Copies of this chain bind each other. A is one copy, B any other.
C-alpha cells in the first residue's frame, strides 16, 4: 500500500502492519505527538483526504487498509524544516564503544565457589576482562538465579546492563539538537549506525521568551525559574525519547547513550547552571568543555546506566551546535579555506584555513527568522517562502499552499533581492515612491504595489483585502540590511584574521533549517553570502543534528568535537576596532 503525505508530497510503501505515525517517521515526515503512540495525547491528528479511510484520525492509531493521501497538520511544518536532511546520515558506520554479548554462564559448584559475577564474566570474556557496575548487582542476582542465556551490554570494558535471554540486537542511542526554538531528537541503532527515527518539538522554554537573552533574564530572576527551565527542557527530551521509543517499538531501557548539542545558553540551562553572565560583558560562560553525567542524574529516563554527553561549546555565544556542525562538515580537517555559516536565531560563522580555525557570532538571526519583520512569521503554514518579481508582476509560494498570512526568512531574502533586481530599491536600500518608480520606468503593475502603510512606505507582496495584505516595509528592508551587514562584517573580519579574500575560499557551507530554504541567487543577491559561484555553496542542512549523531555513533567523532572546540579561536567582533567601519560598508546592496 502507498501513503502520500501532504504537504511534503512524500510517498512511502507499507504493508499495513504499522501505524501511519510509524510510516511517516520512516519517511522523514514529522508528525507532532508526545505519547509515543499510546493514543493518549491526541496530538498526532491527521486528515486522510483520499482513500477508503477518509476523515480525521490519530496517526498512531490509524493502520492503512489501502492507498491513502494524508494531510499532516500545519504546525508540524516548521518542526520538519529543522530536522530535514538527516537522511544524509543513514548508513554512517558505527564505532560507538557499545556492544551486546549473549552467553551461557556455567552453573555454580560447591567445589569451586565462583560468584555469579565471576561466572558471568568468564562466559562473556573468555580471555579475561570486564567490570560490572556495582549498581547492577541486584539484577545480576535475579538473572543469574534463573536464566540459561544472559545478555550483557558492554560499554568499553564495563558491563552496564544484564538481561535474561538473547537481547543482543537491542542497542540504541539518542541524539538531541536543542535549539532555542526547536528541539530535534533522533533514535539511532548503536550497532548498525542506522538512524531509526526522528521527532521534533517546540522548545517549551519559549514560554519565557523567544530568544536566549530573555531566557537568561527569566532564569536569573530566581533559583526556581532556573530549575523550572531545566525541568521543562528535560521533560521535553523525555517526551521526544518516549515518542521515538514508542513509535519504533524500542524499550527505553535499551537506550544506552545520549549526545546533546545546543547553543551555550541552552547547554547551561540543560544542566541547571545559571547563564546570567552570558548576557553581561564579557559574556563569560561557566563551562565550555564537554559535560558528561549519568542519565539518572540528568533526569533522562533511558537506561539508568546511560550517560548524557553535552558536546563542548566554543564561547559564550558559539555553542556546541556549532561544534557539531564543524564535525559534520569536516572543514577543520580539510585542506584549503572553508567558511561555515549557520543562520539560526543567531548567526555564527566559522572560517577554517588549512586546519586553523576562527569563529564569531553575530546578531543576524532574528530578521531571517521573521522576528523583527512587520509581517514576519516562522516557516509555518501560510508563510510566503518564495517571491519572484518580474515586469509582469509578483508571484509567491506559500507554505501549505494556502492564503498567505505572513512572510518567513527565505521569503524576506527573496523579496529584498527581487526588489533590488527589479529596481524598486536603490543601493542604500531605499524603497522608491510609486511616483518615482513610474518615473524610472517601472511597470505599473509593480509600481502600483508601492504605497504608504501603517509603518511607512511598503510594497505589497499579496493582496488579500486591505487589512490582511502581506507587504514588505521600508523598515523590514532596513532590518535585512542590518542583519546581512552583521553577517558580512563577521565574515570579513574572520577573513582578515588569516589575510584571506573571498576568492581564496574553496567552499561556503550553509547550515541550519534556514539554509535549506533560501535561494542561493537571492542570498548572494543581497550580499548575505560571498559571491564565489553557486557550485561552491553547499547546503548541509541540520549540521548540528548530524554532528550530534556522528558523536553518538563514533568515539573518534566525539574526540574530534572535543579537539575542535579547544582548537578554534573565538573573536569578539565588538572589540575589533575596524568592525564598525566594515559593518557600515556592508550595509549597501
Contacts and interface: CB of A to CB of B under 8 A. Distances in A.
10 contacts: A110-B281, A110-B282, A110-B574, A111-B572, A111-B575, A113-B283, A113-B570, A116-B287, A137-B271, A140-B286
B110 A285 contact: no
A117 B273 contact: no
Contacts of A114: 284
A274 interface: yes
Contact of A271 (B111, B134, B284): B134
A288 B570 contact: no
B288 A117 contact: yes
A148 to B, nearest CB: 16
Contact of A113 (B134, B137, B297, B316): B316
A131 B117 CA distance: 31
A119 to B, nearest CB: 8
Given A115-B288, A115-B289, 18 more contacts: A110-B282, A113-B284, A113-B316, A114-B284, A115-B285, A116-B285, A116-B286, A117-B289, A131-B289, A132-B287, A134-B292, A134-B310, A135-B293, A137-B271, A138-B272, A138-B273, A138-B274, A145-B277
Interface of A: 108-111, 113-118, 131-132, 134-135, 137-138, 140-141, 144-145, 271-274, 277, 281-289, 291-293, 297, 310, 313, 315-316, 570, 572, 574-575
The 6 A-B residue pairs with the shortest CB-CB distance, nearest first, are A110-B282, A134-B291, A108-B284, A117-B287, A115-B288, A141-B286
A4 B131 CA distance: 51
A108 B511 CA distance: 31
A113 B317 CA distance: 10
- Max chain B C-beta neighbours (<10 A), residue from A272, A287, A297: A287
Contacts of A132: 287, 289
A135 B272 CA distance: 9
Given A110-B574, A134-B292, A134-B293, A117 B286 contact: yes
A287 B131 CA distance: 11
A293 B310 CA distance: 23
Contacts of A117: 286-289
B287 A110 contact: no
A275 to B, nearest CB: 9
A113 B570 CA distance: 8
B137 A288 contact: no
Given A135-B293, A288-B118, A274 B113 contact: no
A273 B117 CA distance: 12
Nearest to A133: B293
A145 B275 CA distance: 11
- Max chain B C-beta neighbours (<10 A), residue from A110, A137, A572: A137
Contacts of A144: 286
Contact of A282 (B113, B272, B310): B113
Nearest to A576: B111
Contacts of A109: 282
A132 B274 CA distance: 17
A435 B138 CA distance: 62
A272 B136 CA distance: 11
A282 B108 contact: yes
A137 B286 contact: yes
A379 to B, nearest CB: 32
A363 to B, nearest CB: 16
Contacts of A273: 137-138, 140-141
B570 A287 contact: no
Nearest to A281: B110
A333 B315 CA distance: 54
B282 A115 contact: no
Contacts of A281: 110
B113 A286 contact: no
Nearest to A141: B286
A289 B130 CA distance: 11
Contacts of A288: 115, 117-118
A291 B287 CA distance: 32
A117 B287 CA distance: 5
A575 B283 CA distance: 72
A313 B502 CA distance: 68
A142 to B, nearest CB: 8
A309 B137 CA distance: 14
Contacts of A141: 273-274, 277, 286
A135 B297 contact: yes
Nearest to A116: B286
A288 to B, nearest CB: 4
A281 B288 CA distance: 55
Contacts of A115: 284-289, 313
- Max chain B C-beta neighbours (<10 A), residue from A114, A141, A297: A141
A134 B572 CA distance: 27
Nearest to A298: B134
